[in-house]
Amino acid sequence: MASLSALIHTLVTKATEKDLITNRDRFYARNQILGLLQEASYQETDELLSMDIPDVLEELADVAQEKGMIEGLLDEREQLTAKIMDVFLSKPSAINDTFYQKYEIAPEQATAYFYQLSKDSNYIQTKRIANNIHFKSASDYGDLDITINLSKPEKDPEQIRREKEMVQNVAYPQCLLCAENEGYVGRIGHPARSNHRIIEVPLEGEEWFLQYSPYVYYNEHSIVFAREHRPMKINRDSFARLTAFIEKFPHYFIGSNADLPIVGGSILSHDHYQGGNYTFAMTNAEDEFSFQVDAYPEIEAAVVKWPLSVIRLRHADRQQLINASDDILQKWREYSDPEANIYAFSDNTPHNTITPIARKRDGMFEIDLVLRNNRTSEEHPMGIFHPHADVHHIKKENIGLIEVMGLAVLPPRLKQELAAIKRYLLGEEVNVADYHQNWVQSIQEEHKAITTANVDQIVEDALGAKFARVLEDAGVYKTDQAGREAFRRFLAFFNQ
């Protein structure tokens, strides 16, 4: 292991090169790190290690562990490394000021500054994200994004035991999205946020904030969240805030998970959206057919050629889109069509909601309204419009906003399982998980000549086809003739 002085010198130098601090700040930064590591002395050195910031932080955590300062649990290591990076960060008010100084020049400059800062400060876990497997897969609906998520480190058994033993009577911050996480040191079971900064982005007279996801799934993967800790709710205010955001940041899209279990995202307890600077397959999907919104004749409206059921609205005036979107939402919430297996309520339990996505394109505001229904049945206990049992070997979690737009976030187990499948297809004697057997057999039947040269592409294509099936399961109106006729029945009901 390199000397502590060389590690600190390297970290301070790297932080200076990234403009986190200036040369004038070097002594201060060095001494703060020495204090965090309970080290009184420092040996002047010019030794610059060929390491990036995340690697230096890992070695500094090793030093702390050797000194007995921490036991080496993941949360303890991250608390320390986040504190170290906080040394190089300005106070939140200064970062907000810089953001809006750059915003005056161009919104793109402001977000580029904050995104780079979030990466350089190691809040965005760039080294871990690099472990993710990502590729595109052609489908009838465009090029789908496939990601096998390997960026979140697994907790060791000792940390899991500690979390279970701890009396979780701390209700601060209330959740992982609350503004109070900014600068929070963290604890066992709650991630370190010392190096976390958020940007004020007022929306429609309310306090809202912008941050980036620590484990970005696409370029500039951002989270926009309410100051108030309140449950997710899709309503007229949602459409107003979404369009207000893209009016401020027209180079971004922004969308919301649905507000009901099964079809919603993983965090329904805090009102928030996700956005970013990325073009998904759904964004590029063509109009399948257009229709008239009778109450808003100037709005361009179409059903999108996409496995989920998407209404796309376009207009230069966002107020028109807000009104029309709310009208569609209200009509959808009360709509049932037994022939299409759609029921709005079971007794008093609502089932219909919407996943909305907003963007600006060619000077026009554009809103996609993805119709969702979370009803379950005996045949499909996890959800009628949820990945069905025959695709659970690939994906059985909720289909949230990111998946809706065409980016699969698949479980880490698939890395090893797919490697085994490829070896099996090449004739090696290897165990393949029972739940993959039917899939592997179908691949063998479809491809008679599988070689080392084509096996990767064959398996990737098969995985992409499975994800397309996942999305088709989630569509309330199927893409066949009967499904499109049922979709038109809802549009007629809306226009009554």
From first to last of its 496 residues, the chain has per-residue pLDDT tens of 789 999 999 999 999 999 999 999 999 999 999 999 999 999 999 999 999 999 999 999 999 999 999 988 888 999 999 999 999 999 999 999 999 999 999 999 999 999 999 999 999 999 999 999 999 999 999 999 999 999 876 555 565 566 555 556 678 999 999 999 999 999 988 899 999 999 999 999 999 999 999 999 999 999 999 999 999 999 999 999 999 999 999 999 999 999 999 998 778 899 999 999 999 999 999 999 999 999 999 999 999 999 999 999 999 999 999 999 999 999 999 999 999 999 999 999 999 999 999 999 999 999 999 999 999 999 999 999 999 999 999 999 889 999 999 999 999 999 999 999 999 999 999 999 999 999 999 999 999 899 999 999 999 999 999 999 999 999 999 999 999 999 999 999 999 9
Question: Apex CA 228: angle with CA 223 and CA 230, to 5°?
Answer: 85
Q: 466 pairs with which residues across the strands?
A: none
**Which runs of E-coded beta strand occur in 233-363?**
253-255, 272-276, 287-291, 300-304, 310-315, 345-346, 349-350, 352-361
Gap between the terminal Cα atoms of the chain: 73
- Cβ contacts of residue 246 below 8 Å, gap of 6+? 252, 253, 254, 358, 359, 360, 365
- From CA 340, how far away is CA 490, in angstroms rounded? 10
Task: Report the pLDDT value the prediction gives residue 155, as an integer from 0 to 100.
Answer: 54
E strand or H helix at 184: none
Q: What are the extents of the domains in the chain?
A: 1-69, 127-407+477-494, 413-474
Cβ atoms within 10 Å, residue 175: 15
Task: Report the pLDDT value the prediction gives residue 264, as an integer from 0 to 100.
Answer: 84
- From CA 64, how far away is CA 66, in angstroms rounded? 5
- Phi–psi pair at 258, nearest 5 degrees: -70, 165
Longest dimension (CA), the chain: 80
Task: Report the pLDDT value the prediction gives residue 151, as an integer from 0 to 100.
Answer: 84
415: three-class secondary structure by DSSP: helix
E strand or H helix at 407: strand 407-410
Q: Which CATH class is domain 127-407+477-494?
A: alpha beta
Among the listed residues 202, 186, 204, the one whose alpha carbon sits nearest the alpha carbon of residue 194:
186
Write the single-letter amino acid at 386: H
- From CA 102, how far away is CA 104, in angstroms rounded? 5
Question: Which own/partner pairs from 203-206 qualify as long-range (CB within 8 Å, at least 24 positions apart)?
Answer: 203/240, 203/241, 203/244, 203/245, 204/237, 204/240, 204/241, 204/244, 206/241
The encoded tokens of residue 329 equal 């939402």
Half-sphere exposure of 150 (CA within 13 A, CB side): 13
Q: Are 470 and 409 in contact (CB under 8 A)?
A: no
